[in-house]
Amino acid sequence: MLKKIDPTKTNAWASLHELAGEQAQTIKELFKADRSRAKQFSVEWDGLFFDYSKHRIDEEIMDALMDLAKECEVNDGIERMFKGEAINETEDRAVLHVALRNRSNRKTLVGGVDLMPEVNEVLDQMARFSTSVREGDRLGATGKRFKHVVNIGIGGSDLGPVMAVEALKAFQCNMRFHFVSNVDEAHLVETLKQIKAEETLFIIASKTFTTQETMTNAQSAREWFLQQIEDEEAIAKHFVAVSTNEAAVTAFGIDPGNMFRFWDWVGGRYSLWSAIGLPIMLAIGDQAFFKLLEGAHAVDEHVKVKGSQSIPSIMALLGIWYNNFFEAESHAVLPYSQYLSRFPAYLQQADMESNGKSMTRAGVPVRYSTGPIVWGEPGTNGQHAFYQLLHQGTKLIPVDFIAYIKPVHGNGDHHQKLLANFLAQSQALMQGKSVKEAEKELRNEGLKEEEVVKILPFKVFEGNNPSSSILFDEWGAYQLGQLIALYEHKIFIQGLIWNIYSFDQWGVELGKQLAAPILDEMTAKRNGSASSVRFDGSTTELLSRIQRKLK
C-alpha cells in the first residue's frame, strides 16, 4: 500500500512557500550570476540531454523540492510499484506496465507468480503474427496480402498506438494504418471509404471489450465486412482482438486463437507496451518494437536506481513547483517534430486521466491543486498560433520542448531551421525583451519619437517564462520508448507527492452511466413508447428538440 502523506504538512512544503515568495531574481539574472548554471541544471543520460536550467530555480529551491520528494517517500512508492504491490488500491490491482517492457527478464512477481513467462509468450505470439502479416505469409480470405490495418479502440486502446505509429512513420512498412475511435459514424465511414475488405486486417482493441464506442464500431465494421465478403468464415482471417476479456471476445465472434491477451495489472493508458501495441509492431516490425520496449526499460532502470533524483522525478518536482507554488494551471508540451504531432494528445490521457483527482489516498478532499491541464501542438506550427499567449499573455505556463539532433531525413536545411526555432523559443520565453531593448530596436528602425512612445509598450516581453528542453541525439523506436516512459514516471511521481491514486479513473464513469438512460429514452421514443425517466429541465429540452428534428 502507498503511504498516505499530506504534502502540505511537510517541512519542505513550508520552505517552498517561503522560497516562492522570496524569489527576486529572474531566470535571466540567475544565468548572469552563475556561468555554470546550464551545467548544474542539466542531465546527460543514455543519448538524451535534459536541460532544466531555464527554470525559476536555484540550488536551494532544488534542495527543497528534493526534500519534498523525500518527505513524501517517493522512493518507497516507486519500490512498491516495481514490487507488484496492489498500489491501484481503489481497483485492488498491481500496476505493472513496467513488466511488459522488462527486457532484463528479471522475475516480476504478483501473488508469488512470475509474470514474465506470460508476458514473453504474448510478445512471441505478437511477433509471429506481425511477421506473418508483414511478410505476406498470412493472407486475407481471398488470398490477397493485407494492405490496410484498421485498429478499432478508444482511450488507451487507441491514443498510444496512434501516437506511436505516427511517431515512427519514417520506419514503417508499406501497409497503411487507420485508427477508428469515435462513436461518431463519420470516423468509421470515412475510414471504410479508403480500404478494401479483402485487403484489410481489423484489430478490435479493448481491455474490457465492453466499451460502447469500440463495440459499436466493431459491430458496424463486421457488418460492412460481411456485406463485401459474404462469408462468415472470412471473419477469422480478417478480425483479431486484443483484450483481457476472452468471454466477450468469443461472444463477439472472434476465435480466441485470434486473440492477444493482456492483464488487469496493465492500465489502459499505460498499455501500448502490451498487445495493445500490435498495430505498432505491425507497422515497424517486431525488432523495432522490442527497441521501443528497451528504451522504456532503460528509463525504468534509471528510475529504480536514481529514484527521486531521476529525470522523471526532476520533471515531476518542477511541475509541482509551478502548479502548487505559482498557481500555474496548465503545462504545455511542444515537440519540435511533426512525427510527434499526436504526442500531446496521448499525454493528455496519460496525465489528466491519472492525476485529474481531487480525493487524497486517505479518502478526504485535497486542499491543493493536483494534475495540470496538459496541452500542446508541434513546433513550429504552434508558433504561428498560440505562442503569442505564451510570450505576452497573462498566464504562467511551464513548457517542455522536445527535439532530436540528427535529422530523420536527408534535408539538413529543414532540420537546422526546426532546431533553430526550438532553441529560439525557449530562449525568448526566458529572456523576454526589456523596455530598453524594445526602445533601441524601434529607434534603429527610424521611427518618429511619438511613434516610439505609442508602440513601445506592445513590443515589450516580460520573459521569465520557464521551460525544459528534452533533446535526443537521434530519433527512433528506442528514443520514443524513453520519451513515453519519462512522462509515465513523472506522472506517477507527481501522484505520489499529491497523495492521490494515479491509476484509477472513476471520473470517466458518471458520463457513461448517464448516457445509458438517455439512449434508452431515445430508443423508446423511436419505438413510440412512453417516456419513463425524468431528466433535468435542460436535458429534457435538448432531448425533445433532438427528437423533434429527428422525426
Residue selected from 337, 465, 499, 505 as contacting ligand F6P according to rule CB under 6 A: 505
Establish if 312 lies at the interface with ligand F6P (CB under 6 A).
no
Residue selected from 37, 55, 207, 291 as contacting ligand F6P according to rule CB under 6 A: 207
Establish if 88 lies at the interface with ligand F6P (CB under 6 A).
no
- Cβ of residue 388: shortest distance to ligand F6P, in angstroms? 34
Establish if 502 lies at the interface with ligand F6P (CB under 6 A).
no
Name the pairing type of β-strands 48-51 and 42-45.
antiparallel
3-state secondary structure of 246: helix
Q: Which of 199/264 has CB closer to ligand F6P?
A: 264
* Residue 384 annotated in active site: yes
Q: Which three cell numbers stand for residue 362?
A: 486517505
- Cβ of residue 156: shortest distance to ligand F6P, in angstroms? 3
Helices and strands, counts by H and E, the chain: 24, 13
Element containing residue 391 per DSSP (H, E): helix 387-392
For 148, residues 6+ apart whose C-beta sits below 8 A from its C-beta are: 175, 176, 177, 178, 194, 195, 196, 199, 200, 201
* Residue 353 annotated in active site: yes
CA atoms within 13 A on the CB side of 361: 22
Establish if 93 lies at the interface with ligand F6P (CB under 6 A).
no
* Residue 512 annotated in active site: yes
Judged by CB under 6 A, how many residues of this single chain contact ligand F6P? Answer: 14
CA atoms within 13 A on the CB side of 535: 18
**How far is Cα 320 from Cα 303, in angstroms, rounded to an integer?**
18
Binding flags for ligand F6P, 459-498, as an x/- string (CB under 6 A):
----------------------------------------
- Cβ of residue 516: shortest distance to ligand F6P, in angstroms? 14
Task: Count CB-CB contacts under 10 A for residue 105.
Answer: 11
Q: Which residues inside 340-399 make contact with ligand F6P, applying CB under 6 A?
A: 353
Q: Which of 263/387 has CB closer to ligand F6P?
A: 263
**How far is Cα 115 from Cα 438, in angstroms, rounded to an integer?**
62
Q: Which of 274/464 has CB closer to ligand F6P?
A: 274
Establish if 217 lies at the interface with ligand F6P (CB under 6 A).
no
Structural contact between residues 120 and 99, judged by C-beta atoms closer than 8 angstroms: no
Amino acid at 317: L
Q: Where are the alpha helices (DSSP H) in 253-330?
A: 278-284, 286-306, 311-325
Establish if 216 lies at the interface with ligand F6P (CB under 6 A).
no
Q: Which residues inside 99-158 make contact with ligand F6P, applying CB under 6 A?
A: 154-157
Q: Which of 479/505 has CB closer to ligand F6P?
A: 505
For 376, residues 6+ apart whose C-beta sits below 8 A from its C-beta are: 332, 333, 334, 335, 343, 344, 347, 382
- For residue 64, count CB atoms less than 10 angstroms from its CB and return exposed for 0-12, middle for 13-18, buried for 19 or more: buried
- Cβ of residue 387: shortest distance to ligand F6P, in angstroms? 31
Q: Which of 126/334 has CB closer to ligand F6P?
A: 126
Establish if 161 lies at the interface with ligand F6P (CB under 6 A).
no
Q: Which three cell numbers stand for residue 387?
A: 505562442
**How far is Cα 305 from Cα 300, in angstroms, rounded to an integer?**
9
Choose the catalytic residue: 384, 448, 549, 551: 384
For 479, residues 6+ apart whose C-beta sits below 8 A from its C-beta are: 47, 48, 295, 404, 472
3-state secondary structure of 517: helix
Residue selected from 23, 42, 131, 208 as contacting ligand F6P according to rule CB under 6 A: 208
Q: Rounded to the nearest 10 degrees, what angle do helices 509-526 and 537-550 cross at?
A: 40
Q: Which stretch binds ligand F6P (CB under 6 A): 202-210, 278-286, 378-386, 479-487?
A: 202-210
Q: Which stretch binds ligand F6P (CB under 6 A): 5-13, 17-25, 110-118, 200-208?
A: 200-208
Task: Fill in the DSSP letter of residue 433.
Answer: B
Binding flags for ligand F6P, 240-279, as an x/- string (CB under 6 A):
----------------------------xx----------
Amino acid at 119: V
Whether the CA torsion 69, 73, 76, 78 is positive or negative: it is negative
Choose the catalytic residue: 4, 44, 512, 541: 512
Residue selected from 108, 211, 337, 465 as contacting ligand F6P according to rule CB under 6 A: 211
Q: Which of 345/452 has CB closer to ligand F6P?
A: 345
Q: Which of 75/505 has CB closer to ligand F6P?
A: 505
Q: Which stretch binds ligand F6P (CB under 6 A): 114-122, 162-170, 201-209, 527-535?
A: 201-209
Choose the catalytic residue: 166, 198, 213, 353: 353
Residue selected from 200, 214, 308, 348 as contacting ligand F6P according to rule CB under 6 A: 214
- Cβ of residue 511: shortest distance to ligand F6P, in angstroms? 9
Residue numbers of the site for ligand F6P (CB under 6 A)?
A: 154-157, 206-208, 211, 214, 268-269, 353, 505, 508
Active site residues: 353, 384, 512
